[in-house]
Amino acid sequence: MKITEKLKNKLGPLGDHAHYAHGYYTYPRLEGEISNKMIFNGKEKLVWSLNNYLGLANHPEVRKADAEGAAKYGMAYPMGARMMSGNTKLHEEFEAKVADYVKKEDAFLMNYGYQGMVSIIDSIVDRHDVIVYDSESHACIIDGMRLHIGKRFVFKHNDIEDCRKQLERAEKIVKETGGAILVITEGVFGMRGDQGKLKEIAELKKQFEFTLLVDDAHGIGCMGPTGAGTGEEQGVQNEIDLYFGTFAKSFAGIGGFVASTKDVIMFLKYNMRSQIYAKALPMPMVYGALKRLELMRSHPEYREKLWQITRALQNGLKNAGFDIGVTNSPVTPVYLNGGIPEATALVSDLRENHNVFCSMVVYPVVPKGMIILRLIPTAVHTLDDVERTIDVFKIIRKNLTEGKYSPQAVQN
Ligand SMILES: Cc1ncc(COP(=O)(O)O)c(C=O)c1O
């Protein structure tokens, strides 16, 4: 059978849902200005699905900088990879400024967070080294490890005792191979919203020798007194050896960066394949990222507003008896019980009858019988949005408990 034939009938665990989900639950088209309210299927919805934490996506100064960057340089500039012909003063200026923001000596820009993380992992370990990582690591971490031909040990999510055990195993191996240990975790876990236990992991450095790489995709801009991330929040930014941030969330752009010591960044500049063998991040993105960074640093009130909305939403949901799990970041999961048919009926009711748009997560991403409605508060939401959403959530919970979303009820 040809591969192209085989693919037609085998869409994979997520694609198996495409026949009913595509274009509505998956690949929905959100239209209009990026804000707390957007258009879906021709009607305005209150949107809780965007990682636009600080509200920068549609900030007038950001829009102006993006337009200026595109007008001044075009999307083609610079031509080529950084190493050969694609380096610019602006790329270097951004790297110096973002390194200063996250309190590291130097930084390196990346075209995408995902590819960047894969490539960081790939470049810094060899077959003698061992990776120890959190079991709920993002796909980019998992895919980075797929390229690693040495050993890897997973520890149970945020379980420091298990992390210690895996470090003991890793230590035995590197004693034989002469390699070193890399520990990878996240600043904020994007699904449950709990912070990685960076402080406790950093403590383990007293007992074990390892390098700590932290993916702070959801933490940069949101966490810590200056928004410098989850390491700052937990007072252990110095203990993070390689700090990774993406532009896909707070920065409301595309691309990312890794920050570390000058030596490590120099190594990455000459070994990170996703940057050496790929065209540089386009100039308008860098020009726009500089503006975003400036706004992030000079307007702490955006972060304060994000947290005001976060607290109102999370306290409101908890007071109304909802289970929001162990989040200690803006990411707000609401855990409900039900199968995929209930989840789809419930989300459709939310969207069509209550005009609230949020993302749902069901099996196989979470265990069977669990529905997660994932809400992302931002600085452009209002307290009215929060109040309305909690009222609507009470209605859908009641419907769910009364069986109104069961396949039989929906059919009638
Ligand atoms: C934890 C985490 N790491 C990495 C990425 C990938 O970043 P990007 O979207 O910039 O490729 C994401 C998603 O955006 C993420 O949630």
Q: Quote the CA–CA distance of 310 and 374 in Å, as a whole number.
A: 13
Condensed to tens digits (0 to 9), the pLDDT of residues 139-160 reads 999 999 999 999 999 999 999 9
Q: Which residue's CA is minimally distant from atom 3 of ligand 1?
A: 217
Quote the ligand 1 centre to 197 CA distance (angstroms): 19
Q: Are residues 92 and 129 in the same domain?
A: yes
Q: Are residues 105 and 169 in the same domain?
A: yes
Q: Are residues 87 and 140 in the same domain?
A: yes
Q: Are residues 353 and 251 in the same domain?
A: no
Please give the structure tokens belonging to residue 107. Answer: 């930084």
Q: Are residues 285 and 329 in the same domain?
A: no
Q: Are residues 110 and 185 in the same domain?
A: yes
- Give the residue from 298, 331, 353 where a domain finishes: 298
Q: Among 380, 360, 358, 382, which residue's Cα sits nearest to residue 370?
A: 360
- Residues whose beta carbon lies within 6 Å of some atom of ligand 1: 112-114, 117, 138, 140, 186, 190, 215, 217, 246, 248, 256
3-state secondary structure 4-55: HHHHHHCCHHHHCCHHHHECCCECCCEECCCCCEEEECCEEEEECCCCCCCC
State how many domains the chain has: 2
Q: Which residue's CA is minimally distant from atom 10 of ligand 1?
A: 113
Quote the ligand 1 centre to 142 CA distance (angstroms): 12
> Best of 109, 112, 114 to mutate for ligand 1, by most ligand atoms within 8 A of CB?
114
30 touches 359 (CB < 8 A): no
Q: How far is CA 401 from CA 154, 313, 393, 406, in A?
A: 37, 22, 12, 10
Quote the ligand 1 centre to 252 CA distance (angstroms): 12
- Give the residue from 236, 269, 298 where a domain finishes: 298
Please compute, for residue 321, the number of CA atoms within 13 A of its CA located in the half-sphere on the CB side: 6
Q: Quote the CA–CA distance of 118 and 203 in Å, as a whole number.
A: 26
3-state secondary structure 71-92: HHHCCCCCCCCCCCCCCCHHHH
Cβ atoms < 10 Å from Cβ of 16:
11
Q: Tell me which residue range forms the domain holding 389.
A: 3-53+300-411
Q: Scan for tokens 């009641």, then name that residue.
A: 398
Q: Are residues 12 and 134 in the same domain?
A: no
The helix (run of H) or strand (run of E) holding residue 400 is helix 383-401
Closest atom of ligand 1 to 190 CA is 16
What is the reported pTM? Answer: 0.97
Q: Quote the CA–CA distance of 356 and 394 in Å, as a whole number.
A: 13
> Best of 140, 145, 331, 376 to mutate for ligand 1, by most ligand atoms within 8 A of CB?
140
Closest atom of ligand 1 to 189 CA is 1
Q: Which residue's CA is minimally distant from atom 8 of ligand 1?
A: 113
Quote the ligand 1 centre to 337 CA distance (angstroms): 28
CATH code, 9:
3.90.1150.10
Q: Are residues 160 and 292 in the same domain?
A: yes
Q: Which residue's CA is minimally distant from atom 2 of ligand 1?
A: 217
Quote the ligand 1 centre to 254 CA distance (angstroms): 10
> Best of 49, 246, 292, 374 to mutate for ligand 1, by most ligand atoms within 8 A of CB?
246
E strand segments, 353-397: 356-357, 359-361, 370-375
Closest atom of ligand 1 to 117 CA is 4
> Best of 49, 133, 138 to mutate for ligand 1, by most ligand atoms within 8 A of CB?
138
Q: Are residues 9 and 142 in the same domain?
A: no
Residue 374 has a pLDDT of 97
Q: Are residues 112 and 91 in the same domain?
A: yes
The values of phi and psi at residue 332, to 5°, are -125, 95
Residue 299 has a pLDDT of 98
239 touches 197 (CB < 8 A): no
The helix (run of H) or strand (run of E) holding residue 243 is strand 242-246
Residue 409 has a pLDDT of 83
Quote the ligand 1 centre to 400 CA distance (angstroms): 32
The values of phi and psi at residue 404, to 5°, are -70, -15
Quote the ligand 1 centre to 256 CA distance (angstroms): 9
Q: Are residues 137 and 264 in the same domain?
A: yes
Closest atom of ligand 1 to 186 CA is 1
Closest atom of ligand 1 to 256 CA is 10
Residue 408 has a pLDDT of 82
Residue 1 has a pLDDT of 87
Q: Are residues 168 and 181 in the same domain?
A: yes
Residue 367 has a pLDDT of 87
Instruction: Give the pLDDT of the chain (412 residues) as one tens digit per residue.
Output: 899 998 988 888 888 888 888 999 999 999 999 999 999 999 999 999 999 999 999 999 999 999 999 999 999 999 999 999 999 999 999 999 999 999 999 999 999 999 999 999 999 999 999 999 999 999 999 999 999 999 999 999 999 999 999 999 999 999 999 999 999 999 999 999 999 999 999 999 999 999 999 999 999 999 999 999 999 999 999 999 999 999 999 999 999 999 999 999 999 999 999 999 999 999 999 999 999 999 999 999 999 999 999 999 999 999 999 999 999 999 999 999 999 999 999 999 999 999 999 999 988 888 899 999 999 999 999 999 999 999 999 999 999 999 999 988 877 7
